[in-house]
Amino acid sequence: GQNIDQPTEMTATEGAIVQINCTYQTSGFNGLFWYQQHAGEAPTFLSYNVLDGLEEKGRFSSFLSRSKGYSYLLLKELQMKDSASYLCAVRDSNYQLIWGAGTKLIIKP
Amino acid sequence: TAGITQAPTSQILAAGRSMTLRCTQDMRHNAMYWYRQDLGLGLRLIHYSNTAGTTGKGEVPDGYSVSRANTDDFPLTLASAVPSQTSVYFCASSDSMGSGNSPLHFGNGTRLTVT
C-alpha cells in the first residue's frame, strides 16, 4: 500500500529552527508537496520538490531524496504565526496525491 | 480574488437527509477535487474531475456523488447522510491533474455534523 509518515506533533521555540520529516512509500513518484494548515483553515501551498536537493523559499526550505523516499521541511527564524499543521503529500504514478496526516507544530515563546 | 468558494461554512444534518455542498472556483482551473479531513488521518479524496464533463472516484467515494456541468462548479451530494460522514470537507482545484508541478488551491471548507 501507499504510505506517508510524518511526526504527529513537534514543539519548537520562537526564533529557532525546526525540521519536519516526511517519509513515503508510493507507487511511482511525480513530485512532493508541503502545505501549511492553520487550525480551522484551508491548507495553503508551501513548496514543491521533484528533483533531489534543497529548494529554498525565504524562511522555508524543502529537501528531497528520492532514493531514500524522504523529504524534510526546514523552518528558520520561527515566528508564533508558524504554529500550524504541516502536510506532506506525494503525487504517485497516476498523478493522485497521497497525503500524510500532518505534523502539528507548536511554537513557544 | 475569490479563488474557491465553498458553502455552507458549517451544517448540522439529520441522518437520512440529503445535502449538497457547493463549490465554485474563478481561476479557470481544469481539475477539481473533493476531500474529507478527519482527525489523525490525511486528506482523503472522495471524487475528482479532470475537466468539465468528466468525474472520477477517489479513495472514499461511497455515499457521495458529484457532477461537473461547467468549469467553475463542482457540487458534492450526500444522498442519505450517515454519522460516519461527519467531517470537514474541502473542495480544491488545480490547473491540471496530469502535471507534476500543479499545486492544489483549497476552499475554506465545510464542517458537516451528521446526527
Contacts of A45 in chain B (CB under 8 A): 103-105
Each residue's pLDDT tens digit, B5-58: 999 999 999 999 999 999 999 999 999 999 999 998 889 999 999 999 999 999
The per-residue pLDDT for B29 is 94
Please state, in angstroms and as integers, the Cα–Cα distance from residue B75 to each residue in A17, A66, A87, B8, B69, following that order: 42, 37, 25, 12, 10
The per-residue pLDDT for A55 is 94
The per-residue pLDDT for B102 is 84
Shortest distance between the Cα of B46 and any Cα of chain A, in A, equals: 12
* Closest of A66, A87, A64, A90 to residue B100, by C-alpha: A90
Choose, out of A97, A99, A103, A104, the residue to mutate when testing the contact with B (most B CBs < 10 Å): A97
With a CB cutoff of 8 Å and minimum separation 6, the contacts of A46 are A33, A34, A35, A36, A57, A60, A62, A73, A86
The per-residue pLDDT for A30 is 92
A85 — contact with chain B (CB < 8 Å)?
Answer: no
In whole angstroms, what is the distance from residue A60 CA to residue B33 CA?
27
DSSP letters of B43-92?
-EEEEEESSTT--EE-SS-TTEEE--SSSSB--EEESS--GGG-EEEEEE
Each residue's pLDDT tens digit, A41-75: 999 999 999 999 999 999 999 999 999 999 999 99
DSSP letter (8 states) at residue A20: E
The C-alpha cell that represents A44 in the structure block: 495553503
pLDDT band at B96 (very low <50, low <70, confident <90, very high): confident
Residues 27-66 of A with CB under 8 A from B: 30-31, 33, 41-45, 48, 50
**Average pLDDT for chain B:** 94
In whole angstroms, what is the distance from residue B54 CA to residue B66 CA?
10
pLDDT exceeds 70 at position B100 = no
